[in-house]
Amino acid sequence: MKIGVPRALAYYAYYPFINTFFQELGLEVVVSDPTSKEIIDAGVEDAVADACVPVKLFHGHVKNLMGRVDCIFVPRLVRINKEATFCPKFLGLPDMLACSLENLNNMLEVRIDVGKSKRQLFSLCLSVARKFNRGFFKAWNAYRKAKESLKNYKLEFLRGAIPPLGISVQENKAEVRLGVVGYPYLLYDPYVSLDVINKLIKMGAYVITPEMVPEGEKRKYAEKLKKTLFWTFSNNVLRTAFHFMETKMVDGIIHVTAFGCGPDFIVDKIMELEAKERNVPFLTVAFDEHTGQEGVNTRLEAFIDMLKRRKIKEAIVV
């Protein structure tokens, strides 16, 4: 039996878990092709016009899988911890797909609401395994191995690698250290983000993303806001930004966002105001399906040049 996994949205944050779990259950996992012009166009065709690029992309990836697999895995991410939920578009994703894509009838919709206790994740895995007629022990085994592989994935990030982009080591003596914050489905999709991270590394920057900051460090900044944000990914981004600003471990921050992203207008404005207060250079780059290479290149180059010059100036003053 073939199960299709769309390479979009939550995929980039959790793919080792998803892939390992289904493989261990004895299913053939087919991941949709890496994002390309055809996939974006297919998504734009069917998705509602106001949606952000990542959601349109998800439509495209599902269409890419249609006809090739027996069922398509569509997660409805509701909660993975106590404090926050996900963007409403994640919550309504299967509903949107069901209404936008006409002949989609093999959707494996999994509602992921595992915020209350640790056991919930396993019982969810068990119920998914039961759908494929796999028993308790098979599910337990798959669950353990999946968890292990997600742990390794996270560890690799902490060591400074970026596995989804195939970056294993970064030069530690780079001229500028750059915090690049944004959601995993933008940062790690080289097509839609025009390969921002690789570009920055080539320009001589050491890039740090939210995944490369330990959870414990981010937790410390949970009380910074009067009211916790409602979205798990946004909390992650904002806390990382606070961490960067407080510890001064980076020379500048780039926020990568999608055009029309709902939660990001709040996240972005808060970061902008805080960065201004602390005199940290801050740049927002918004992507959509029409973003051109050159415009982005120019902005990134200018930002990096500015950081380098600033560093030299500071060195002279000291």
Partner 1 sequence: MRKVSFPYVGNATITFKKLMNAFGNEVVLPRRPTEETLSLGTKYAPEFACLPFKIVLGTYIEALEAGADTLVSTGGVGPCRAGLYTTLHEKILKSLGYEFEMITLEPPGRHLKELIASIKKLVNRRLTFADYYRIIRFVWKELQLLDKAEKLSHKIRPLEVKKGETTKTYRKCAELIAQAKDYKDLLEIEREIELLYEKIEKKDYDPLKIGIVGEVYVVIEPAANLEIEEMLGDLGVYAERSMFLASYTFYNAVMDLFRMPGERDVKKLASPYFKEMCGGHGRESVGNAILFAKRGFDGVIQLSPFTCIPEIVAKSILPKVCAEYDIGFLPVTLDEQTGKEGLRTRIEAFVDLLAAKRKHKAMNKKGDVVYGTLLGH
| Binding residues for partner 1 (CB under 8 A) | 47-48, 50-51, 76, 78, 85-89, 91-92, 94-96, 98-100, 111, 225-227, 229-231, 259-266, 268-270, 273, 276
| Nearest CB to partner 1, comparing residues 106 and 228 | 228
| Nearest CB to partner 1, comparing residues 202 and 227 | 227
On whether the CB atoms of residues 126 and 301 are closer than 8 A, the answer is: no
| Nearest CB to partner 1, comparing residues 55 and 304 | 55
| Nearest CB to partner 1, comparing residues 86 and 183 | 86
- For residue 232, give the nearest of 254, 209, 250, 215 by alpha carbon: 215
Q: Please name the residues in contact with 145: beta carbons below 8 A apart, sequence gap of 6 or more.
A: 20, 21, 24
Spatial separation of the C-alpha atoms in residues 236 and 226, rounded to whole Å: 16
Least distance to partner 1, CB of residue 277, Å: 8
Spatial separation of the C-alpha atoms in residues 85 and 156, rounded to whole Å: 26
- For residue 36, give the nearest of 66, 4, 11, 64 by alpha carbon: 64
| Nearest CB to partner 1, comparing residues 77 and 187 | 77
Least distance to partner 1, CB of residue 155, Å: 30
Least distance to partner 1, CB of residue 65, Å: 19
On whether the CB atoms of residues 4 and 65 are closer than 8 A, the answer is: yes
Least distance to partner 1, CB of residue 79, Å: 10
Spatial separation of the C-alpha atoms in residues 194 and 231, rounded to whole Å: 25
Least distance to partner 1, CB of residue 231, Å: 6
Least distance to partner 1, CB of residue 56, Å: 11
| Nearest CB to partner 1, comparing residues 251 and 274 | 274
HSE-CB of 141 using CA atoms within 13 angstroms: 9
**Which amino acid is located at 259 in the chain?**
F
